[in-house]
Amino acid sequence: MDLPLFESVSGVHPPVNFPDYRSNVLRSPKHPLVVLPQNLTETTAPVFGEDRIGPTDGDLTKQFPEEPIGQRIVVHGRVLESDGRPVPHTLVEIWQANACGRYRHVVDNWPAPLDPNFSGGGRALTDAEGRYTFTTIKPGAYPWGNHDNAWRPAHIHFSVFGRAFTQRLVTQMYFPDDPLLPLDPIFNAVPDEHGRRRLVSRFDITRTQPNWALAFEWDIVLRGSRPTPFESGEDHDD
Amino acid sequence: MTEITPSQTVGPFLHIGLPWPDGAFAVPDGTPGAIVIAGTVTDGAGEPLPDALVETWQAGGEGRRGFGRCPTDEHGGYRITTVRPPADATEAPHIDVAVFSRGLLNHLVTRIYFPDAAENATDPVLASVAADRRDTLIATATDGGYRFDIRLQGDRETVFFDV
């Protein structure tokens, strides 16, 4: 039995109960979580192939006959484990608001325009080195009802599978120097300042395409595995 | 570990990015022995969640076989078509579940067990759960499948795991 055991994530993620985020109040469990051992189900994950990816899923500016309005951007980075090992061929899914901060979604009805040439959804598989790339439009900020004059900072939602159920991650990527970040309860639910910083992408001049698109780099780091006690080589008789 | 990317909520607009046309089928439609597991996701006031996403995972398949994904409908309902997983050396047959929704900053993890599995009596995970909450992890039999409701909070709150 040499299944990987994935490291503790204590203190990394937001707490289960975080009432500053109003929708959390009636939806978060009140009983403490029960520790689940990492057995076969937890240390394996589905494997997705190219059949999950449509031809324009990696370029959200090419999904309609005409281009969407807004600042064209390249968002790229790697999916890694915490020891730096890349996670190859893993599925990355994104969704976002348009340049005006409006989602193409039935429950988003604030008075900002929809863009008929922008769906807001994308998918990609990482390459052998764990790299992903999307071309899209920089999303706008938008108001929400959490508290008086609340605005979400511009963000892109990301969903990543990794190679184990324990690594499943849904999160949001933010943009550097956004003045709304210190005011956002969702961003600030992350307990540690370094953790919050890891949600913010970096402007990347080296991948910025001349006369075409600004680039932002953002690595996604999943919890890593550590050797099991049975792998430590101490099973010999002295 | 300090470099791990923190979780954020899936938010109310997950339908733009996550559902798949065949997502609710963890095994292909028409697979012999297929069962349907269906249920409702409710909050602490007993109200259904129309904007949650339920994912299921069971080991032993190839590719995406064994993985199901279903957004809840306006009545909080989800339904997954799969096959019953076998018991393994130590654990009773089970399916891992991840629940995502607006309001949850991290997804919640629970497990579906089967009511008629003799191995439940010796399953170490069920044994680790307080006896009066254990039944929240055990599906109930229905015509052609099972019902597994997920109560995020309050009366008969589902057991959720730290994995």
Catalytic residue among A78, A102, A123, A152: A152
Predicted pLDDT of residue A235? 43
Cβ atoms of A236 and A96 closer than 8 Å: no
Neighbour tally for A195: CB within 10 Å? 19
Nearest by CB: A157 against B11, B63, B163: B11
Structure ipTM: 0.97
Question: Chain B contacts of A38, Cβ < 8 Å?
Answer: 163
**Phi and psi of A182, rounded to 5°?**
-65, -15
Residues 90-109 of A with CB under 8 A from B: 93-97, 103-105, 107-108
pLDDT at A125 over 60: yes
| Residue A11: pLDDT over 80 | yes
B residues 122..151 contacting A (CB < 8 A): 124-125, 128-129, 133
Out of A72, A89, A157, A226, the active site residue is: A157
- Can A89 be counted among the known catalytic residues? no
Give phi and psi for B129, each to the nearest 5: -100, 140
Split at pLDDT 50, 70, 90, the class of A234 is very low
Q: Which of B13, B124, B157 sits opposite A95 (nearest CB)?
A: B13
What the block records as the tokens of A59 is 């370029």
> Of A21, A103, A132, A174, which residue is the catalytic one?
A103
Q: Which of chain B's residues have a Cβ under 8 Å away from the Cβ of A15?
A: 105
Q: Quote the distance between the C-alpha of residue A211 and its chain's center.
A: 28
- Where do we find the tokens 């499948």? B145
Chain B partners within 8 Å of A95 (Cβ):
13-14, 16-18
Predicted confidence at residue B1, as pLDDT, reads: 46
Average pLDDT over residues A1-16: 85
Percent of chain B at pLDDT exceeding 90 = 93
pLDDT surpasses 60 at A16: yes
pLDDT tens, residue by residue, B103-147: 999 999 999 999 999 999 999 999 999 999 999 999 999 988 999
Q: Could you read off the pLDDT of B53-74 as tens digits, one per residue?
A: 999 999 888 899 999 999 999 9
Of the partner residues A30, A107, A168, the one whose CB lies closest to the CB of residue B12: A107
8 A C-beta contact, residue A91 and residue A123: yes
Is the pLDDT assigned to residue A1 strictly greater than 90? no
> Do A46 and B57 form a contact (C-beta atoms < 8 A)?
yes
Per-residue 3-state assignment (H helix, E strand, C coil) for chain A: CCCCEECCCCCCCCCCCCCCCHHHCCCCCCCCCEECCCCCCCCCCCCCCHHHCCCCCCECCCCCCCCCCCCEEEEEEEEEECCCCECCCCEEEEEECCCCCCCCCCCCCCCCCCCCCCCCEEEEECCCCCEEEEEEECCCCEEECCCCCEEECCEEEEEECCCCHHHCEEEEEECCCCCCHHHCHHHHCCCCHHHHHCCECEECCCCCECCCEEEEECCEEECCEECCHHHCCCCCCC
The pLDDT of residue A232: 44
Q: Mind listing the pLDDT tens digit for each residue in A23-79?
A: 999 999 999 999 999 999 999 999 999 999 999 999 999 999 999 999 999 999 999
The partner residue sitting opposite B105, judged by closest CB among A18, A34, A121, is: A18
pLDDT computed for residue A2 by the predictor: 55
